[in-house]
Structure 1
Amino acid sequence: MRVLETATLQHHRSMNPCPLYDEFTGTLFLFFITVLGRTPEAYQIVTGQNVTRLCCVTSADQGLSWSTATDLTEQVIGATIKDWATFALGPGHGIQLRSGRLLVPAYSYHIDCKECFGQLCKTTPHSFAFYSDDHGRGWRFGEFIPNLQTGECQLVSVDEEDGSNVLYCNARSPLGFRVQALSTDDGAVFHGGQLVQRLVEPPHGCHGSVIGFPAPFVYVPTAARDPGMPLRGSVCRGLGHPPTQQAGGAEPPSGNRREPDEPHEDRPSPGWHDDAHNVTSVQGDPAATPSPTPFFQAPTWILYSHPTSSMSRVNMGVHLSTFPRDAESWTEPWVIYEGPSAYSDLAYMELPYRDAPVAGGTAIAFACLYENGMRSPYEQISFSMFTLHDVLQNIPLTAAAPPRGRRGKRRRRRRKSCLVS
């Protein structure tokens, strides 16, 4: 573990880190907020006296060295900050879209009524996103999720089976359940939020993480495929991808690195956290006459991590959604840690897999960093890795709950975690 000593402002404390990687330029951003002195968030909410700043450090060498902190508050938020009692980021990862747009999830306590008999009357938390279309040179912020109270959040770019794309936001809420909201213009405006009653919140809520990834498919040789058969297949037995697919987050092979501002139309550039946009080719029969390789866009599935109890921050679990637009699509959880647990962050990767259905294929895998302990959720930070195969073996694919005996057995088969030192 390394301390980023440049990620600070004088007389402020740094909070809510949110890393973001620009696949086009190779720049690694670390956004965070700084808060003056020891001023708590609650004091800012009650008084409306905002002492929070939006800051960022960057790295051009994959995190080996970092720039000094830049205070972006005036440049990005400007006079609007007078309407925010306070604000924060993520925490956790941001994402990059196929267009190159960078997105940082955020939330603000908006001052709905400034004074009532000399006292601040009302503030309401709303999730939104900061975004950049010029590789981080300039930033804007989008509109709030309008209807429900939402706070700490994360984003996923979701490709759907019909070829459309939406930006998905999953947010903390004090309403007893998570809230999800969709944007059809890449985060500038979010439609009304929905309560996700399959994803419970403990009292006052808790941060959770979401990560998108392309659904796994069966790959049928072109010569063997019926002409009327759609390209979309069923879930692979080995849950792998063919070797032509770029692994999300991996460094491009030497000589194939894309130059800044020159995206290839025929080879999308999924960023570190934009694996939902991977495009996978269907391989032809090697013995058949060569023909143009058909392409299709895999729909996005989402994995979500969060404490699974509605009573307290306990039992870290993961849920799966194969159709994120539908708030009822979430599965029952697989508990990966039994005991006190709180904040988490997920990452998606593809690992070499010798038993993949396609020679040289890769296995879909995940990493989860989360707070946990024996008596308190905040005793240590642990790191767990598991595959999509593990997830599918331990939670049902359908939203309906499995028989009690079966679910209990699966929960006992939780993955081990190791302490990050």
Structure 2
Amino acid sequence: MTSPYFPARTVLFEREEGGVTYRIPALLYIPKRAILLAFAEERLSPDDSHANVLVLRRGAFYRTYVEWGDMRVLKTASLEEHRSMNPCPVYDELTGTVFLFFIAVLGNTPESFQIMTGKNAARLCCVTSSDGGLTWSAVADLTEQVIGSVIEDWATFALGPGHGIQLRSGRLLVPAYTYHIDCKECFGKICKTTPHSFTFYSDDHGQSWHFGDFIPNLKTGECQLASVYEEDGSNVLYCNARSPLGCRVQALSLDDGAAFLPGQLVRKLVESNRGCHGSIVGFPAPLVRGSSRVPSPGRRRWLAGGCDYSHFLQKLHRLQKPRGKGAGSIPGTSIERAPQGHPRDESSEESLLSAAGGHPGQAAPGPLSQLATSFQTPTWVLYSHPTSHRSRVNLGVYLSTFPRNADSWTEPWVIYEGPSAYSDLAAIELPSSEPAATPGIPAITFACLYESGARYAHEEIAFCLFTLSEVIENIPTKLSSLGQSCQGGSKNQWKNCVTS
């Protein structure tokens, strides 16, 4: 048994002796500036009713490490007599503007009180930066303009937390959720509510904002989004949401977040107790032939972020269940997808290449720029979340090469062993000129900002970097005892957990 590998970590926010605590991480990468923005809530205690202000640390990305600046309070990101919560940044690449959305909650009103009484105390707020987070605008309270009278049907609402995304169309998307009031006085209860995930979106670079329809059928809360492309050029917006149903819920949108199809349970992605926030990030699948070393016809080899792709496909096929017959179409629509092929013989490299988009008897495809225009680099998705279903411990990352299929997720690679909770991911594409990159296509590095600690998950917020190659190499090849036997009844029992 080899020792588990954990990425090197840097603590960015740490609980202070007087009780000041930092929670709810949000991470944003700005490619043009090679800058990472790490946000968090500063609270007077771990309790959400003691949230206070938002804080920021700015990091310069140098490919293999990040140089972090000092922590500072975002003074403009606040409303008088309100506490600032749930940072959710999104970057407009076309204008170079960072939008930092957050909710401002009146006084010390906890979320639970709003849900119980149906009396919303949250406001939709935003500040912007045009210089990569160095300076920030005055706060804009968008509640009346964007939500209007509909807020009377919301017991409360919140954003993300974590990052929003921008689509190729230019649309900006901010993930959100609300507790919708189903009945104000039902069977002796003051208020009956149901949580639903949805999006705020803008098609004019943030000049105006709108909100879309809820995920209709399942209880969903804190969520994140990814734009997912497939080889045939088709696209869906993928939402992965927290749920009290024992596992995550995913839902797809065919109109860029204005409405969602019914949600699906993702049983491979377990929730702990009443659930925990998780993060997703989409990135282009690194399907490319090494142009500097053209293989012989009998030994076609594809690469994945520096790894032998055919080797990875063999590993992935052992980890994942075969895609069912229904995986080729989206329920409730007329859009049909050709099912992804499965190797007829797991040991056959030709079959594996067919599953990757190649065909036996043909020369291996060249770099992506030389492929047929009908071929679209597919999107893979990485997901981070505590891996136990009983407590918030052992933060792991899971990979899906076909996220539309709820059964496509691998087992997790645990990147932090111990108490851990909320996290946020960013994907960073290294230029193809970098030594770590595969010729012809950027290599992928991931950044993760997450809550962790020795005894409690709210002791600190740490940051780490790891590559797609490391994800592939560290995905368990068989079921790990981590997340099954590591159920962590007490806060210290996690230390007894071992990896198979």
Deviation at 1:236, TM superposition (A): 3.3
Measured in 2, the distance between the counterparts of 1:99 and 1:214 equals 17
Of 53, 72, 83, which residue of structure 1 is paired with 2:123?
53
Partner of 2:467 in structure 1?
Answer: 387
Measured in 2, the distance between the counterparts of 1:235 and 1:220 equals 7
Partner of 1:103 in structure 2?
Answer: 173
Partner of 1:341 in structure 2?
Answer: 420
Q: Is the 8 A contact 2:270 2:389 kept in 1?
A: yes
Quickly say closer, same or farther: Cα 1:220–1:392, change in 2 above 3 A: closer
Cα-to-partner distance string for 1:124-182 (whole Å, 9 max, x where unaligned)? 00000000000000111000000000000000000012210000000000111000000
* TM-score normalised according to structure 2 size: 0.67
Partner of 1:272 in structure 2?
Answer: none
Measured in 2, the distance between the counterparts of 1:90 and 1:154 equals 6
Spell out the pairing of 1:213-232 with structure 2 (5 A cutoff): 213-219=283-289
Of 437, 449, 464, which residue of structure 2 is paired with 1:369?
449
Measured in 1, the distance between the counterparts of 2:219 and 2:248 equals 10
Partner of 2:435 in structure 1?
Answer: 354
Measured in 2, the distance between the counterparts of 1:176 and 1:329 equals 18
State, as a whole percentage, how many aligned pairs show the same letter.
Answer: 68
Partner of 2:163 in structure 1?
Answer: 93
Quickly say closer, same or farther: Cα 1:176–1:21, change in 2 above 3 A: same
1:322 matched to 2:390: no
Measured in 2, the distance between the counterparts of 1:214 and 1:131 equals 23
Quickly say closer, same or farther: Cα 1:233–1:139, change in 2 above 3 A: farther
Measured in 2, the distance between the counterparts of 1:26 and 1:144 equals 30
Q: Is the 8 A contact 1:364 1:388 kept in 2?
A: yes
Deviation at 1:401, TM superposition (A): 3.6
Partner of 2:458 in structure 1?
Answer: 378
Deviation at 1:122, TM superposition (A): 1.0
Q: Is the 8 A contact 2:290 2:302 kept in 1?
A: no
Unpaired segments ≥5 residues, structure 1: 227-231, 241-280, 285-290, 414-421
Measured in 1, the distance between the counterparts of 2:224 and 2:411 equals 20
Quickly say closer, same or farther: Cα 1:235–1:53, change in 2 above 3 A: same
1:134 matched to 2:204: yes
Secondary structure, in 3 states, of the residue corresponding to 1:297?
Answer: coil
Measured in 2, the distance between the counterparts of 1:403 and 1:78 equals 49
Quickly say closer, same or farther: Cα 1:378–1:73, change in 2 above 3 A: same
Unpaired segments ≥5 residues, structure 2: 1-70, 309-364, 486-496
Q: Is the 8 A contact 1:173 1:205 kept in 2?
A: yes
Measured in 2, the distance between the counterparts of 1:306 and 1:211 equals 12
Amino acid at match of 2:169: S
Measured in 2, the distance between the counterparts of 1:292 and 1:144 equals 41
Spell out the pairing of 1:5-404 with structure 2 (5 A cutoff): 5-116=75-186, 119-219=189-289, 234-236=302-304, 238=306, 283=367, 294-295=372-373, 296-351=375-430, 353-358=434-439, 362-396=442-476, 401-402=478-479
Deviation at 1:51, TM superposition (A): 1.0
* TM-score normalised according to structure 1 size: 0.79
Deviation at 1:412, TM superposition (A): 7.5
Deviation at 1:120, TM superposition (A): 2.4
Cα-to-partner distance string for 1:172-231 (whole Å, 9 max, x where unaligned)? 001110000000000001001111000000001000000000001123669x799xxxxx
Q: Is the 8 A contact 1:239 1:363 kept in 2?
A: no
Measured in 1, the distance between the counterparts of 2:73 and 2:107 equals 20
Deviation at 1:351, TM superposition (A): 2.9
Measured in 2, the distance between the counterparts of 1:404 and 1:191 equals 35
Cα RMSD over matched residues? 3.0
Amino acid at match of 2:468: L
Cα-to-partner distance string for 1:354-388 (whole Å, 9 max, x where unaligned)? 154427x6421100000000110000010011000
Measured in 2, the distance between the counterparts of 1:334 and 1:328 equals 17
Cα-to-partner distance string for 1:373-419 (whole Å, 9 max, x where unaligned)? 011000001001100000000005xxx844779x99xx989xxxxxx
Amino acid at match of 2:173: L
Amino acid at match of 1:391: V
Deviation at 1:118, TM superposition (A): 6.7
Secondary structure, in 3 states, of the residue corresponding to 2:195?
Answer: strand
Measured in 2, the distance between the counterparts of 1:412 and 1:364 equals 29
Partner of 2:337 in structure 1?
Answer: none
Partner of 2:349 in structure 1?
Answer: none
Amino acid at match of 1:98: R
Measured in 1, the distance between the counterparts of 2:301 and 2:391 equals 41
Aligned residues: 357
Quickly say closer, same or farther: Cα 1:133–1:237, change in 2 above 3 A: closer
Name the stretch that deviates more: 150-159 or 349-358: 349-358
Q: Is the 8 A contact 2:246 2:270 kept in 1?
A: yes
Deviation at 1:239, TM superposition (A): 5.0
Q: Is the 8 A contact 1:217 1:239 kept in 2?
A: no
Secondary structure, in 3 states, of the residue corresponding to 2:137?
Answer: coil
Deviation at 1:43, TM superposition (A): 0.5
Amino acid at match of 1:33: I
Measured in 1, the distance between the counterparts of 2:449 and 2:395 equals 11
